[in-house]
Structure 1
Amino acid sequence: MPHPTQHHRLVDVPGGRIHLVEQGEGPLVLLVHGFPESWYSWRHQLPVLAEAGYRAVAIDVRGYGRSSKPRDVDAYRMLELVADNAAVVRALGAETATVVGHDWGAGIAANSALLEPDVFTAVGLLSVPYAPRGGPRPTDAFAMIGGPDEEFYVSYFQEPGRAEAEIEPDVRGWLAGFYAALSADTMPSPSDGPSPHFVPRDGRMSDRFPPHSGLPSWLTEADLDFYAEEFERTGLTGALNRYRNVDRDWEDLAALDGAPITQPSLFIGGDQDASTTWMADAIKAYPQTLPGLVSSHILEGCGHWVQQERAYEVNRLLVEWLGAVHGTA
């Protein structure tokens, strides 16, 4: 059932249209999801932020849900997604916003703050730590992570059509396995075999999903139905095209090499999430890379889907941070 005070809208942006769901009145908070998700990933945050006095807006990122799905792969480069975010703020009649992102949404949020600092005056990052642009070309770096018998999942996602051929025959089943693989209460243990972040050569990512059945505790059958119905309708290509632009982003954002984010910021990660543990050095570098950091939190016993796995804690931390940023704490 739709929430009676939530409103769905389509707004025009230079690249087409963005679907969003908004709730509440007050300072604008733009919520940006990751892969493979939806505006619905913020279902627990929208009413809480609205009750706290904010205009909470969760978007379907370009390529997802009811938002536009351009055919060209390079239409999903970071510059385009940042432009979408800024255009959404303008379409909503606002001049500034706080932007909060999870997973790929964290990267989109971070670059929104870097490229549009007059629009995005504070930034919250969930699950994926901020690391400034730099280092070798991303696909070269990812190629070195794999071995003769397996490849890193980002490399697996690079070839158009390859991951789609695995996922789209059974979208619901694949999503259930993927969500479970990165959730603290259902992720595979080392005794179950290699990490699902690595794909067997000539194999499938789902070969590394948890061998047991059952959904993670945060995901109901109805929640899974929602996600599955969205991707059965749209396909996965738009979502996967984000991964297929990592080299273009590296080239496009060369001027931001090593750039810190100076706006007030927040980080929330899970201690069971590979995104957090693999990037521990990025978190240690926050005094230099996030000089405006207000608070950083690692949630014990939490996996990748932080705002869904630990909605109460994340809501509390978001409201506290927003209160500090807006002087209402």
Structure 2
Amino acid sequence: MSRETIAEPALRSLVLRALEAGGMRPADAALAAGVLVVAEAAGLTTHGISRVAQYLGRVAVGGIDARAELAVERVMPALAMVDGRNGVGPLVGMRALQAALDGARDCGIGAAFARGSNHFGPILPYALAAAEQGFASIIASNATTTIAPWGGRDTRLGNNPLGLGMPFPGGEPVVLDMALSVAARAKIRDLAARGEPLPEGWATDSAGQPTLDARAALAGFLLPVGGHKGYGLAVMVDLLAGLLSGASYLTRVRAWDKTPEVAQDLGHVFIAIDATKLADRATLAARMADFTGILHATPPADPARPVLLPGQREIATLKRQRTEGVSVDAADLARLRALAGA
């Protein structure tokens, strides 16, 4: 796979221009571009700039409204409902995050529930943005069905990403961003495209039998992380992010890759906690330093692989690539330049 290195500001400019060329307003495009570029620079390439072409392809066939007028309603001082009106997912996500942060600034804790959305990228960029402003967060979304209920042999649940973030004044935030399948479907698509086998335990074929064949897995379903426990988490995320938000849920969610012209109506939930209301900056910094220090001091089973915290590798990659340039797939960059008219 050929790769190119591009400075982060230049990459952000390309994404912004591509989204604007696809119909988004400049301010809206800037919010969405921020999510995708952070994802790419953090090494989350399956949810980075490659998604621009996917999103705009759906815009072109009427599946996403690039100029959607989102509606944000503060139903209580700390509670907001966001109607994405079938807008671009990362835009809906950022507007919902902002609504949750506004509630937390006023009340110490805030929540925003979004409906009428689409694929909103990975959770890390949202949780990182919240942490950098001093907020802990809990973020989740439902997704296209790819997981069978535990004991079942047909898909009814999405891999429903779940994330949590914790601020660390003067240090690196701790961010967990996980799908509730053992592996994301995008990773299986990448392996299938390269003709490579799957690791054991990732997925089954259409008959519900474990498979190492990536193409067979795309016709089957993903396995939940932690077996029945992952299934339970996927159910609860869909209840919060999908059902409670007023969005579609379970098999009511439409698959973007099968019916790209149809609105997905995904739901998201953002909960933000103003950490400054619980401890002053110096106290929180000292406690976080102690907490992370205990974990980092754990003797590693493999001396070449020290103990890391959730998100540590991705945040380190993000910092490095912001300085040295972002390594991107050459084909993804070529598509992006074409969409941007560059």
TM-score, normalisation: structure 1: 0.28
TM-score, normalisation: structure 2: 0.27
Q: Please tell me whether Structure 1 or Structure 2 has the larger radius of gyration of its CA atoms.
A: 2
